[in-house]
Structure formats: structure tokens, C-alpha cells
Structure 1
Amino acid sequence: MRMMKQILSVAVLAFASFGAAASPAAPKEGAEYKALPTPQPTDTGKKVEVIEFFAYWCPHCHTFDPILSAWVKKQGDNIVFKRVHVPYNERVAPQQKLYYTLESLGLADQFQPKVLAALHGGGQGFTSDEEVFAWVANNGVDKQKFIDTYRSFGVAGKVRRSAALMDSYKVEYWPLIVVDGRWQASPSLTGEANKNLNTEAAQQQATTQVLDFLVAKAKAEKK
């Protein structure tokens, strides 16, 4: 119990030290973060599972990505980071399949910034299979291997599972982060709880402090 209190105290101080732009106290449940009504199982052992629900086409996911990626890198072995590309409509369905194909090929992290840059200012729409195939081929991916994977049962299963995960984790908007299968955090929640964070960048950066707190809380409870 003493170790748990010490870890949480460090997380509280880290959040408070963010300065005047952030809450002066620890993140509060129901404000900076929310507890899931039904905790979801994790399979990450002593490491803390962190899941981002996102979409390639989402402009807020695009601007949050470098901030979140830097945070994930800083966490190192503390966490196991996963992404779930949410379904939306048929027009952008190829983007979801693009993500899960890259994930199946072990290329998702490598291509994350490239896909986002292509969509947000790079002239790509990724609204058809053929556009996706041409783009990946131009970016050094084996086209036939990609197509075979894109059309595989495995990718189709991941697409179906994403909808089920959204229901299980009560995902209604994105980007949304779930920590340890129990708590939701997001720039939207951070901004609502801290009205003085009047830019999206400030809300996104402050959200990493909330994530620090939740990861520390989860690790303490795993002791």
C-alpha cells in the first residue's frame, strides 16, 4: 500500500507541475478521465495496456498523433500500446482496411505518420481500394502481398472486431485512449475539465499528463 501511494504521489506531482495551463490537482474521475462501467480484460501481464481508438481521416487524430507517439516512446516498457481504427462509413472503409493490412504486415507504426501526412495535406483520399494499392506500391510495399493481405479473412476479422471493441469500450468519439481496460481519457475530456486549456494543442499535451497518472495508478494496483 505504501508503494502504491508513493507511485500515485509522483503521478500527482507530475500532473501539477504541468503549470498554470493544467489542473492544480490530480486528475479526477468523471472529469479528466472516466471509468468504464464494465472493465475489459487485458492480456499484458504486469505491463499496462493502452489502446488508442482513432481514424486516419480524423483531423484531431492527425494532430494528436505526434504528441501521443512521443508519449508512448517515453513510456517504453511500462506499457503495451495498441491502436483500433474505428469504422465509420463505406466511403472511408478502405482507410480502415489499409490500417489493418499494415498492422498485419507489421508496418502500421512505420507507416502511421506517412498515411496521416498523405491524407492531411498530401492530396490522397484513400476512398477506393485501387487508390490504396497504388499508394502503398509507390511507398515501397510489395503490392501483391499487400493486396492478398488486404483481401484476407484476417483483415476482414479485424474490421469486424473493431466494431465490437467500440461497443465494449463505450467509444462514441475519437481520439479516445483506454488505459488498463478501465479508464477513458481524451483531449476532449481534458479540455472540458480545464477550461483554461483554450487550444487543441494544449488539451492534447495535457492529456499525456492524465495518461501518466492513469498508467501510474494501474501499475500501482498491479503490485
Structure 2
Amino acid sequence: MRVLLRLALAAATCSTLLAAAPAPGAPAADVSATPTEGTQYVRLAQPVKTSPREVVEVFWYDCPHSYQLEQPLDDWAARQNPPVVVRRIPAAWPDKPVMMAYARLYYTLDKLGVAQREALPVFRAVREQGLDLTTETAVLTWAADAGLDPTAVKDAYESQQVWDETQAAPALRDTYQTDEMPSVVVGGTYRTSPFMTPNGVPGTVPVVDYLYRHAHA
């Protein structure tokens, strides 16, 4: 029940903030004060053992905030020295077929090595064009229109690897102790999200930058 309420709240908040938020790819706003633990970010109750340089984003293709955060987060990662690779984890719950279906789409593209390249095209298809990419038929039609090899997409979509990764997605999300989309976890220790920053999506990347430098230090 708590998950259902949080998902409903997240969807409502996404809709509310979307109207005032800049378009995807807009530069993130500056943070005028040092982010505060418990307000702009939280410390995971059970830190995940990983590199302090690891940045994980829990996202959903049908979340407007995830869409808006995609490009600014990648731009920030590319500016770091050395560049940071953002690890994406699809937000999924086993009792949410739509979210499981989008997780399967992500892992299909990941198996083909094009998940990052096709991220914005998928977001645009789902969020702007209103496409429902939760079935194999719809995915193959979209893939052909996007210039991907439908046979390769079909093979990946139906593969045991993608099935196993999709089924494991809810537990992986649980590992990072998040039920908000999107959420960003830095160094396996600190988590922030647009719901925790005064400026929503534009305020998220500056908090991530602070946490990254703090975790690495």
C-alpha cells in the first residue's frame, strides 16, 4: 500500500512540477547553499558497497522527471575528470506490469549496447508521442521506425538474459532503497531526487555534484 501511495504521489508531483520546469536538456540551476542531509539528500540506511565514483539513477521511461533529468545528468557526468558513467536502473515493482515492461525494454536496448544512445528517443516516443511501448509488438514497430534491426531487437527482447534482468529489477531497485522516480544514488551512500530539492529537476544535478565530491573526498 505504501508503494502504491508513493507512486501516486510521485505521479501527481511530476505533473505539478512539469508545468514550471524547463524543457529536457536545460541547464541545471545553481545551488546557493550547501545541501543539507535529511532535506536535499539522505544517507542510505544500508550503504551499497561500490566505488565512491559510482552514480546510479533509478528511472522510468514514462516519468516526466526522469525525462527531464536524463540529459543534464549525462552532461554533468561528461564534464567530470575522469568522466563519470551513470548506471541506469529501471524502476520496477513485480506487481506493476507496465513498469516491468519498460524495464524489459531498457534491458533489451542495454543488451544491444544502445540503451544510452536510444534513451532520449524512447523518452520522446513515450512522453511526447504518447506511444505505449509495453508490448513486444509495439517495441518492434518503434525499433524499426527508429532505425534499429527488428530481428536483433526481437532476439534480445525474448532472450533469457533480458528476462532474468527484468525479473531481478525490483530487487536491484530495493538494494538502492528508493521508491521515487527518478532518484540518484552517489557512491552507494547518498540519495537525492527532484522531490527533495527546492527547484525540482533543475536543482538535482548540483546536489549530485556536491554528493559526488563529498563521497570521493
Structure-to-structure mapping, 1:57-72, within 5 angstroms? 57-72=62-77
TM-score norm. by structure 1 comes to 0.78
Alpha carbons of structure 1 residues 179 and 127: separation in structure 2 relative to 1, 3 Å: same
Alpha carbons of structure 1 residues 142 and 48: separation in structure 2 relative to 1, 3 Å: same
Q: Which residue of 2 aligns with 1:205?
A: 202
Q: Deviations over 1:85-104 (max 9, x none)?
A: 11142235332211111011
Q: Which residue of 2 aligns with 1:156?
A: 163
Alignment of 1:118 with 2:120, yes or no, is no
Equivalent pair of 1:49/1:179 in contact (CA under 8 Å): yes
The letter of the residue matching 1:41 is K
Q: Which residue of 1 aligns with 2:112?
A: 105
What is the alpha-carbon distance in structure 2 between the residues aligned to residue 62 and residue 132 of structure 1? 19
Q: Deviations over 1:10-30 (max 9, x none)?
A: xxxxxxx93xxx443x21111
Q: Deviations over 1:46-104 (max 9, x none)?
A: x6000000000112211222222222222252533100011142235332211111011
What is the alpha-carbon distance in structure 1 between the residues aligned to residue 168 and residue 141 of structure 2? 27
Q: Which residue of 1 aligns with 2:38?
A: 30
Secondary structure of residue in 2 paired with 1:82: strand
Structure-to-structure mapping, 1:137-176, within 5 angstroms? 137-176=144-183
Deviation at 1:205, TM superposition (A): 2.0
Moved over 4 A (4+): none
What is the alpha-carbon distance in structure 1 between the residues aligned to residue 191 and residue 99 of structure 2? 25
Greater helix proportion: 1
Secondary structure of residue in 2 paired with 1:178: strand
Q: Which residue of 2 aligns with 1:10?
A: none
Aligned residues: CA RMSD: 1.8
Equivalent pair of 1:92/1:126 in contact (CA under 8 Å): no
Secondary structure of residue in 2 paired with 1:66: helix
The letter of the residue matching 1:160 is Q
Stretch of structure 1 that moved more, 64-73 or 205-214: 64-73
Structure 1 unpaired stretches of 5+: 1-16, 192-201
Equivalent pair of 2:91/2:99 in contact (CA under 8 Å): no
Equivalent pair of 1:48/1:78 in contact (CA under 8 Å): no
Identical-pair percentage:
32
TM-score norm. by structure 2 comes to 0.80
